[in-house]
Chains A and B, each alone.
Chain A
Amino acid sequence: MRSSTKTLVYAYLATLVVGTVGWSIASLTGLGHWYFALAVMSALALLVTFRKELSPAVSTAIFLSSTAVIMACVSWQTYLVAAAGRWSAVAFAGYKLTALAVAFVAPVPVWGAYLVIALCALNPTVQTLLASSEIRANYPQSEPWVSIVYAMVAFFVLRHRLRENELARKVSALEGERRTIEHVAQIFLGLRDLTNTPLQSITTTAWLLKRGHVTPTEAAEHLDSALVQLRELSEILKTYEHEVDYRPTDHAFDAVKFLQEKLAHMKPPKSD
């Protein structure tokens, strides 16, 4: 099952369970919708407390279920007030607040946030259009347009926040890449330092040998000593061999060309 489908199933089940339990408590005790909301929030708090690490699917399910319950409450409450013949200036206020809250919190996954904002525009519209003329008369004349405007503002705020997050993510990735390159460059500097002294010893030994300034035995001793230093370096590098992810095509390669290609890709990213 795809992750998004799984999330929707979780959200549906959570809404069903939390909504039924909360609604039952509210009906049985004769308490109002505030107590119902309290029951819903308590159930969610318990769920979050007992799950130490919530997977994205579960946390999205909680987010969708809680907003679904809030939207159901708001629709029902708005209808009850209008049906009772009372005019309310704050009809559908819950939808407006939900849309703005979602835009500022910018939950993950993004489709969940867009879905809730779309419902915050759609539900008041449908509820207004389907209402009888008596009920409609008790809704503000400006509805559902105000709810739609709130949802649109929420949509743009969310979009802006998501772009900002994406930009921050890219900057962070570039910074990480820059640090890695700096780290690798430092390793290369260390390698260069470790190899240059034994190389100087080898070069000088060969030169002295050619000019007859050292005996072959003395030269061999100096070369051995230089090779010990190079072997130490090889041992250090050997411990990292298993970290390399070899590809099936990596049978034989030109080491010099390989290094040149890898180093060419290591140019630090430009920071604008």
Chain B
Amino acid sequence: MTCIMFVDDCDDLRSLFRRAFERELGIEVLALRSLSEVKKHEKEVLNCSAAILDINLGAGEPSGVDIHDWLKAQAYKGSIFFFTGHGKESPMVQKAAKTQVPILEKPMAPADLISIIKGSLS
């Protein structure tokens, strides 16, 4: 079964997007909150076809960019998207922009996000 990963430090958002992707696309969603959880689920993570990474994962926590770097180091083959509520001028977002990975801005219409992910899966 197709699987995507959604990483965000907001419990509600993880729960809501898991529901949205599962119901709309009929796929499995691996909803995680940090780099340590991503590493813990390494095998499942590397099998995911797409990864949506929140950039700011909380004070003192590795960012979504760190997860991106870790995924690349593990030769992850799926699509990656950053998902952030920070402005473009934020240093974290600027660092993310250097990776050439698409940056999706919160708040975003769920239908649009689902459509983007659907496009990347096909």
Contact = CB atoms under 8 A, between A and B. Distances in A.
Interface of A: 185, 189, 192-193, 195-197, 199-205, 207-208, 211, 213-214, 222, 225-226
Contacts of B107: 196, 199-200, 202-203
Contacts, number: 66
Interface in B72-95: 85-87, 89-90
Contacts of B12: 201, 222, 225-226
B23 interface: yes
Interface size class of B (residues with CB under 8 A): 20 to 34
A156 B52 CA distance: 68
Given A196-B106, A201-B10, A201-B13, A189 B86 contact: yes
B39 interface: no
A214 B87 CA distance: 31
Given A200-B107, A204-B13, A208-B110, 13 more contacts: A192-B87, A193-B85, A193-B86, A193-B90, A196-B106, A197-B85, A200-B108, A201-B16, A203-B109, A204-B16, A207-B20, A213-B24, A225-B12
**Most chain B CB neighbours (cut-off 10 Å) among A192, A202, A204, A205:** A204
A203 B110 CA distance: 7
Interface in B19-78: 19-20, 23-24, 56
Contact of A196 (B16, B19, B85): B85
Nearest to A219: B16
B85 A208 contact: no
